[in-house]
Every structure is written in structure tokens, then in C-alpha cells.
Structure 1
Amino acid sequence: MVQEFEGTVNGQFRRRAGQVAAAGCLLASVLAGPAVAQDAKPAAAGPTMRLELNRLEPAGENCRTYLLVDNGKGSALKSLKVDLFAFDTEGVAQKRLAVELGPVQERKTVVRLFDFPGIACPKIGRVLLNDVLACEGGEASRESCLERIDTSSKTGTEFAR
């Protein structure tokens, strides 16, 4: 707190008291800066697993799907079961499929093949990762696995989360 003084001599004290107070505030903010920075929470980690719709090809009346599972940054999973929806080119849901992608080794990329039955590949306009049904291994949970996954596509078909 800065006190005001009267008189010419006291006017000098008033200015000095204000300068001392300002310097004290500056010093306090400099000293508090590192403490505040240390208490700040770290930024949330981004996705650590990438699922890429890599290829679609006809397999009779089915659409064979090549799904790349890139676990280059994550821990091993005994099971990773996902719920997928195939939408037609008009955006209407056509097929729902539960696919087991595990086991998935730590720091490993693999390709998993599965078929969307009874739907031709050109009829698939989008694939949706609707949910994670199972995620087992380490400290993984179904919810944390879904947050870890990033989707992409090398095909003309969108793959979204």
C-alpha cells in the first residue's frame, strides 16, 4: 500500500514510495511466473493410434476393406474391437460391422482385412468409426482408446471418427 505525504519533502517520498511499490509488483510477478508455469497442467496428448482406410476392393458381392492400424506411439493392446458403419454415397447408413483389430503390438503398424458384406465398394461413400467396443491392454479403457484414435483415408471414401 502506498501512503500519500504532504509537503515538498514528502512529495519526494510519495514518488519514491510509488517507484518502490511498482518495483515490488514487478519483482513479485517475475518470481511468481515460474511457479505459475510449474502448476499449469500439461497440454493434452494428441492421438497415439492412427486408423487409415487404405484400400477398398470388390470381393464378390462384398467390399473387402484394408485397414491400416498404426500404433507407432502407443502401448500394446490385447484387443481393439471397433464399431464401424458404412454409409452410401447419399449419406444413408447401409451396414454396421464390429471388427476386431487386435492384438496390436507396441510401436507396430499392421494391416487388417475384413469385408463389408452385401455392399459394393463404389456404393460406400463414407465409413464411420462409431465407437470402440473393446480395448484391453495396459491401462487402456474403451473411452481412452477412442480418444487415442485418429482416422484418415487413402481412398476416395471418407473415414471419420
Structure 2
Amino acid sequence: MPVRQFSSRAFRAAVLGAALAGFGAAPALAEDAPKRIGVELNAVAATDKACRLSFLVENDLDVAIDDLALELVLFDKDGRVDRFVVVRTGRLPLAKRRVKQFDVPEVKCDSIGSVLVNDVSECTGPGLDATVCLDRLAISSRAAIGFSS
């Protein structure tokens, strides 16, 4: 099979055409990405009588969330259930990030081994319910404590 020679100009045109075709596909891929509710355990800090959990919550859905209630389970360092806690985020505007802090009374932060999002107790907004929001959760952590769903 003979090897074809391309001029520098033809080669540049081919590379530019391929690059532009790739850029045209990128927005389509971004539009196909699933919409999510990002919940990040961002920080854990001891207070006088509680352990303060700070969450970064991001609404990437197509609608505002009027209220989101998450049922959290706190596990001790040995992996045993310590307690159940329900936290409410309140309103989460469309395409916005919010930091929410919750004090868990009579808990020492260093006794918490991990936190589990056990369920979405409530999720209200146009076309939303607890099941829809649970399916859209994207959980992450920057804290030393494990955080999962």
C-alpha cells in the first residue's frame, strides 16, 4: 500500500477540522450528563456541646428545590450505628451552591467514624419527590470522616 504525502497546509486543515468536530460534540455530551444534587461533607468541627457538620450542597437539576431533607446515620469508629439524624437544607436555587451547617448535640466529632445518607425523607419542588432526589444524589467528602450513600 503506497504511503501518501500530505502538504503542510492539507495536514493543518485536517487537524483543524478534526478539532472543530470534537468541540462540536462536547456540548452534546455535556447536555447528556445526568443532572444531580451534589452533597459534599466539607468540614467537621467540635463546638462546646455538639459536633458541627458542614455540607456544600449544589443543585444541578433543571428546577429549584424548595426543601430537601436527608436522613443521615452516624456510625462510631467501630462501625456501629450511633444515631439517626434528619437535616433539612431549605431552598436550593437552580444552579447554585450553598453551605449548610448542622450541629449534632452531645456528639464528639472524634467519635464519628462515618456518615451515611440513608434516605431522602423529603424533597419538594416542581416535579420532585424523595425518590427522584435520592436517585440524583452525588455524595463526596473533603472531611476526614467517611461519607457515603
Indicate the TM-score class for this superposition, using the shorter chain for normalisation. 0.7 to 0.9
Asked if 1:130 is matched to 2:118, the reply is: yes
Assess if the C-alpha contact under 8 Å between 2:54 and 2:99 holds in 1: yes
Counterpart in the other structure of 2:59: 71
Report the aligned-residue RMSD: 1.5
**Could you say if the C-alpha distance between residues 117 and 100 of structure 1 is closer, same or farther in structure 2, counting changes exceeding 3 Å?**
same
Counterpart in the other structure of 2:105: 117
Assess if the C-alpha contact under 8 Å between 1:51 and 1:152 holds in 2: yes
How far 1:75 moved relative to its partner?
2.0
Letter in 2 for 1:156: A
Assess if the C-alpha contact under 8 Å between 1:82 and 1:129 holds in 2: yes
1:97 counterpart (57, 65, 85): 85
The TM-score with structure 1 as length reference comes to 0.69
Rounded to whole Å, the distance in 1 between the matches of 2:88 and 2:122 is: 9
Letter in 1 for 2:58: D
- Corresponding residue SS for 1:102: coil
Rounded to whole Å, the distance in 2 between the matches of 1:145 and 1:67 is: 17
Instruction: Identify unmatched segments of 5+ residues in structure 2.
Output: 1-31
Asked if 1:56 is matched to 2:38, the reply is: no
The TM-score with structure 2 as length reference comes to 0.75
Segments ≥4 residues shifted beyond 4 Å: none
Number of equivalenced pairs:
118
How far 1:90 moved relative to its partner?
0.6
Rounded to whole Å, the distance in 1 between the matches of 2:33 and 2:118 is: 22
